[in-house]
Homo-oligomer: A and B are copies of this chain.
């Protein structure tokens, strides 16, 4: 497995584009529409928000992913989420697919749609329609095409998020690429974001779906920026089979190679979302080890990574381990507080701060040094069994409040 440059256009046969359509305002530097296109038909898998309030494009994609045997394109806009928009919003979503299909000479049922942004507003359809028409001639197989698309799906993200890997399967070079966006309303329970992963690996729809659903649990669903599960969360995985490998139709070695690469892509994207959480100055990783079970480890990890007090302490580079132990305690997972050990870890080193539920003999100065890095890990050793889990979040900062007190203006 080899990391290569690029994102969704890295695999063979995928084109992409991103442009400014004016949905996010008149600043032409702000791209707000993206398209991904594969001339060869793709099989597609998708995972979606568990929020009962689902945006129109989520409902659309759920239907398309389930019923359409092949997919050719994804159309996406940022700025307006098309959520809580009723029948009118559903119609607009379908219109987006329709316009895209006409422009690309494909079927409406072969177009997936994604939207992200403000809830409750209707899409500016004139701009959207023009945007779609302008996207088609911009489609490019180059890295730039994928990069423009990665820029266009951003909302409060500060950086685009792209990644690609090459793997050898049966002597053929296969590629898998991805992009995603955060960075608010991010909380475990489906990814709470938009993620698009493309690959030229030949694989059955059933196994593509199974691989995505399984891997999401350990990656996107372990990310939390603010505990708010969005109405629009979507991860789509498209495979056009152009790599020419022997089609993967069973769980053989090839399948597990593919899964490993998919996992690397998803972990990278998940961590990118966490580290670029709204207003974040640090990626905060929580590792639970030796829990009674994996399920218990997941519960404990999510509880710590979502604790506002812990997140604020990370922002302050303050080794306030009491808040971590407290968050473990209210997680509903049963454990023995009196035997827990806790460590802080970063590029600057590793330090034990809690031993058997009480303060270990550590230097506050050294702890602050470790906590001053851009990626900080808390390791909680529950000393109960073999279950482990990792969750990713970020610190809680003044900037988070600024962004969200005034998002719509």
Contact = CB atoms under 8 A, between A and B. Distances in A.
Interface of A: 50-54, 81, 83-86, 118-121, 184-185, 187, 189, 226-231, 306-309, 312-313, 315-316, 318, 320-323, 325-330, 334-335, 337-338, 354, 356-359, 396-398, 400-409
Contacts of A51: 326, 329-330
Given A312-B405, A318-B408, 20 more contacts: A50-B330, A52-B328, A53-B328, A53-B329, A53-B337, A54-B329, A83-B322, A84-B354, A86-B338, A118-B322, A119-B322, A231-B326, A309-B404, A312-B400, A313-B404, A318-B405, A318-B406, A396-B405, A398-B398, A398-B401
State the oligomeric state as a number of copies: 2
Closest 7 CB pairs of A and B: A119-B322, A316-B405, A53-B329, A312-B404, A229-B330, A51-B329, A226-B308
Given A227-B306, A326-B228, A326-B231, A404 B83 contact: no
A308 B404 contact: yes
A225 to B, nearest CB: 9
Nearest to A396: B401
B337 A84 contact: yes
Contacts of A229: 326, 329-330
14 contacts: A50-B330, A51-B326, A52-B330, A53-B337, A84-B354, A86-B356, A120-B358, A187-B330, A229-B329, A230-B326, A231-B326, A318-B409, A397-B401, A397-B405
Contacts of A228: 307-309, 323, 326-327, 330
Contacts of A316: 404-407
Nearest to A88: B358
Nearest to A331: B52
Contacts of A359: 84, 120-121
Given A184-B309, A226-B308, A309-B226, A405 B326 contact: no
A313 B313 CA distance: 23
A119 B309 contact: no
Given A185-B326, A308-B228, A358-B85, A315 B401 contact: yes
A405 B120 contact: no
Nearest to A226: B308
